[in-house]
Each structure stands twice: as C-alpha cells, then as structure tokens.
Amino acid sequence: MLAALRKLFTSSLFLLYPYLVYRGLQAGFVWLAPAIVSAILLQQALGATDVGVRNKKALLALSLMGGMVFFPDFTAKLIPSLIQLALMHFFGKTLIKGPPLIERFVRLEFSDIPEELLTYVRHLTIVWTAFFGFNVLMCSGLALWGQPAWWALYSGVIMFALTGLLMVGEYIFRHYRFPTLEIPDVKASMRTMILNSRQIWLDVQAS
C-alpha cells in the first residue's frame, strides 16, 4: 500500500511539476519543487542495491541541491529536460546494443515476428529517440531564453499532447502499414507494457 502511494505521489509530481515550478516562480518558492525531487532521488539512492545506480542518483540529487543554491530558477526548470534526456538515452541505447526497445515489447505479443515488422519497430524506436531529443532541446531552450509561461506550457501541456498524438498516430498508421497483422488492442498492449516494463528496464540497464 505504501509503495503504491509513493508511486502515485511520484507520478503526480511528474505531471504537475511544470505548474508547480511556474507557481513557485511567481510566489518566490521556486526551490520547493526541485527540493522534493532531490529528496526522492536521495531516498531511491539509499534503497538501491546496485552501487552504480546508487551513486548516480545520489550525485544527481546533490547536484540539484547545489543548483538550487546558485541557480534556483534554471535548476527548477532543468528537470524536465533531464527526464527527456534520460528517456532519449534509454531508447537510444537499445538501438546500439539491441534489440531495439520497442522490439522487446513486440516480442511479448508475437511469437513469430516478420522481418518487415522488425525493421518497422527499429525505425519506430528511432522516432521516439528523436522525439525525446527534440523535447530536450525545446525544454532547455525555453528554460534558458523563454518566458516562464512558455516553458510551463510546453513542458506541462504541449509535450504531453505531442506524446499522445505520436502514440495515436502510430497506432493508426500501424494498422494501415500491416493490414493483415492481428494487432493487439490498446488495452492489451498497455497491460503488457505495465506488467513487463520493470523487467525490460532492468535488462536494458544491465546491457
């Protein structure tokens, strides 16, 4: 129960983070949101069994704390860029070491994957990697040179809307591209991702 509440809190913070930072900039407590993120990272570092993971999380938490002292506004606005950068690295790493990330999920739904589908999911992994890279540039650029409202709008609304459009557009195109393939519905695919995402994350981290 406690673990579920912790995940719910972390997910809510992730979704509301740009709004919280925007309000913090207006009210003068912009340090609060990154302080909460730093505390979560430190807690995760203390609970990590892998030394490398523990050191990375602890170093990131300490860096954010230092940034809050010297560059509080920029540090607060930098976190969405770091998240998108981590996702870009995660997807891109599987393109180099293989198999591509999306192929790992597809193999859970298909026992025999046609060669053209393997090519397609590799290209799709490239698209998502590029998309996260684009978000890094947009979030970082707006954090440096944009108005706080522009940064909050992109990081908290437009970026998620573009993510949804990309997912829906790909799902529609997939049916057009492979009309004879029995593609699982969205609910079944989401269930597969939720049940297996942790293990795939660990496999990619270990590769």
Burial of 174 (0-12, 13-18, 19+ CB in 10 A): middle
> Token match 């193999």: residue?
107
Q: What is the pLDDT of residues 21-45, one digit of tens each?
A: 999 888 888 888 888 888 888 888 8
Tell me, yes or no, whether 188 lies in a domain. yes
pLDDT of amino acid 139: 97
Number of domains present in the structure of the chain: 1
Taking only the tens place, the pLDDT of each residue in 144-190 is: 999 999 999 999 999 999 999 999 999 899 989 988 887 777 777 77
Domain that holds residue 188: 78-206
Please tell me the predicted confidence (pLDDT) of residue 204.
Answer: 79
Measured in Å, how far apart are the chain's first and last C-alpha atoms?
Answer: 32
Q: What mean pLDDT do residues 117-144 have?
A: 96
Residue 12 lies in a domain: no
Q: 35 or 50: which carries more pLDDT confidence?
A: 35
CA–CA distance, 189 with 165 (Å, rounded to integer): 17
The answer to the question of residue 160 being in a domain is: yes
Are the C-beta atoms of residues 19 and 152 closer than 8 Å to each other? yes
pLDDT single digits (tens) 73-96: 999 999 999 999 999 999 999 999
- Asked if residue 114 has pLDDT above 80, the reply is yes
- Provide the pLDDT for residue 161: 97
Asked if residue 42 belongs to a domain, the reply is no
- Over residues 41-68, the mean pLDDT reads 85
pLDDT tens across 116-127, in order? Answer: 889 999 999 999
Domain assignment present for 52: no
Average pLDDT over residues 130-145: 97
125 assigned to some structural domain? yes
- Residue 13: per-residue pLDDT: 76
Give all strands (DSSP E) within 85-169, no chain letters: none
Q: According to the model, what pLDDT value does residue 2 have? A: 59
Q: What is the pLDDT, as a whole number, of residue 194?
A: 78
Confidence band of 201 (pLDDT split at 50, 70, 90): confident
Cα–Cα–Cα angle for 85, 133, 118, rounded to 5 degrees: 105
Q: Is 3 a member of any domain?
A: no
Type of residue numbered 185: D
Is residue 43 domain-resident? no
Per-range mean pLDDT, top range of 92-101, 124-133, 192-201: 124-133
Q: How confident is the model at residue 3 (pLDDT cuts 50, 70, 90)?
A: low
